[in-house]
Amino acid sequence: MKDEHDSDFPAKQMFPEHDPVLDEESVIQLFTLRVEALIRDDLDLLLSTLYRLDVEEDKIQHALRSSTVPPARGIAMLILDRQKERLKTRKSYSKGNQTKWEGL
């Protein structure tokens, strides 16, 4: 049995030790690799995941048809953008931002 300190451990390959905080481009690259694998191996899982993440269908179609950005990268960017939107929305409705209308 391999332990997580072994060099073959997938998380170690995906998240290098020298950079515990990934920048946006690194996240997009990781997402792109996963999206490529899902396009190739399990398109239904990719589509259902995009649905659950609430990525807009017209944006997905645009990403798939883009002549400037590879489809997997375009979808990876959509996923990251959607997650950013969700965090922004969550922050705006957090308890620290209560309005006078709450609790009516």
Give 28-70 pLDDT, tens digit per residue.
999 999 999 999 999 999 999 999 999 999 999 999 999 999 9
Whether 93 has a pLDDT exceeding 70, the answer reads yes
Among 42, 27, 20, 40, which residue's Cα sits nearest to residue 73? 27
- pLDDT at res. 1: 43
- pLDDT at res. 101: 61
Query: What global pTM score does this model have?
Result: 0.71
CB 28 within 8 A of CB 76: yes
- Per-residue pLDDT of 67-84, as tens digits, reads 999 999 999 999 999 999
